[in-house]
Structure 1
Amino acid sequence: MHGNESAENYLETILILSQRLPVVRSVDIATELDFKKSSVSVAMKKLRESGHIIVSPEGYITLTESGRKIADCIYERHTLLSSWLTRLGVDPKVAAEDACRIEHVISAESFEAIKRHIK
């Protein structure tokens, strides 16, 4: 699953926000990512058209099954890689930034091997 890195980041952000907030709106995503609302609106339209999110008439954003699957995968990669790098002695901020880059390009095979090695 190596889709569009930007789309994956948006889906991951929606997942994270949905765990913290009662509802997720475009403005919440823009605030979280420090993006312009117009940029987020364009991205939400693309995600809606690709079937990864549903936007209610009130503007509430929900992940579809396919969107949730991608978001879960990226979030798992991020959290595992970030914590692993931190345990290896990498500064937590650097580890999180590196994990954010790695999570989009690592193959499923390599990620599974890292998971097995860590456990």
Structure 2
Amino acid sequence: MSIPELLFSFRGRASRRTFWLWNAFYFLMIITVATLVKNLFPESDSMVLPVILVLLVIPDLAITGKRWHDRGKSLRWLVLHLPLVLTRFMIPVAEAGGNSNPLWCNL
């Protein structure tokens, strides 16, 4: 399977290795970009991370959907993944509200 098929197609299957490698890459990229932007451009950090998340939402859903398919589930099971995706979008918005503490410190 080619990289564009892997990242942008909802057809096919994804092995456990592919799924976990993608998730490791996904979260390392988000953490790295967020750290770099926060250190280099502190005034625009609340705008850059949501853009990165929007760019990565289709590949994330495609690989997750392929993994669900590999487990014998239909793409309808992606509905279970939507709260995670929405939470990722809400974290930069919550931190942009002027709160200097991480979101999990306010629970």
The reply to whether TM is greater than 0.5 is no
TM-score interval (norm. to shorter):
0.3 to 0.5
User: Normalized against structure 2, the TM-score is what?
Assistant: 0.35
- Give 1 or 2: higher strand fraction: 1
Query: TM-score, normalization: structure 1?
Result: 0.33
